[in-house]
Structure 1
Amino acid sequence: MDRCGWCGKKIPRGRRFCSDACSERYARTLAWDQRCIKWFLLLLAVGVLALFAGALCEQNALVGGGMLLIGSDILLFPLVTPQTIALLGMRAARRAGRALGAATMAAGIWIGWF
């Protein structure tokens, strides 16, 4: 048994999706991801630069701000790996990505301001 590419339900071998609605949602999500990849990479680069700058200057607030920016980037644009999509389905994989983004944001707040 394989899993639906969108919802993760078990489906017969040889099929990628359990329904046309799941196929359409998957295609729309991939198109949205392609449009937003440049913003994802830009925010990620700025967050990493903030992390390095904070480490060099020994400023916890800057390190926390960098982690907060990276976490918000992952929360807004939950781009997950194809392996995670194959394991969970895109919907659940994106939820897991958003949860990890929220955890990264919480860690950034903790490091930067507590």
Structure 2
Amino acid sequence: MLAQSVLVTGCSRGIGLEFVRQLVSCDKPPAVVIGTCRNPDKAEELQQLAKKYSNLKIIKFDVVDYASLPRVVEEVGRAVGRDSLRGNKAGHGQVPSPDGSAALSRQAFATSG
């Protein structure tokens, strides 16, 4: 795999969980796979994967809880290294504002809407 780190949202079940499972178990996995979900404590299958694969980091993240963005950015930065932190959506890259402002994030997501 070419990616050094991958972040997957909504991975407590369904396709997000399967993305994580495939990423951590592939022949050449990313150095860091970050699985996010609203309730990590209830995501039992995700927790089991994290016990089996040391490259899987779990972060609590509700994608509509804009106030949590500074904490999430900080945790992702610690997991992958601050210099590696990037955001991208349809060719418009933007890292959420560390001050918690959701305006830049909304603008990035609306770009290709």
* TM-score, normalised with respect to structure 1: 0.27
Q: By percentage of residues, which structure has more helix?
A: 1
* Greater strand fraction, Structure 1 or Structure 2: 2
Higher RCO, 1 vs 2 (CA within 8 Å, ≥6 residues apart): 1
Which of structures 1 and 2 has the bigger CA Rg? 1
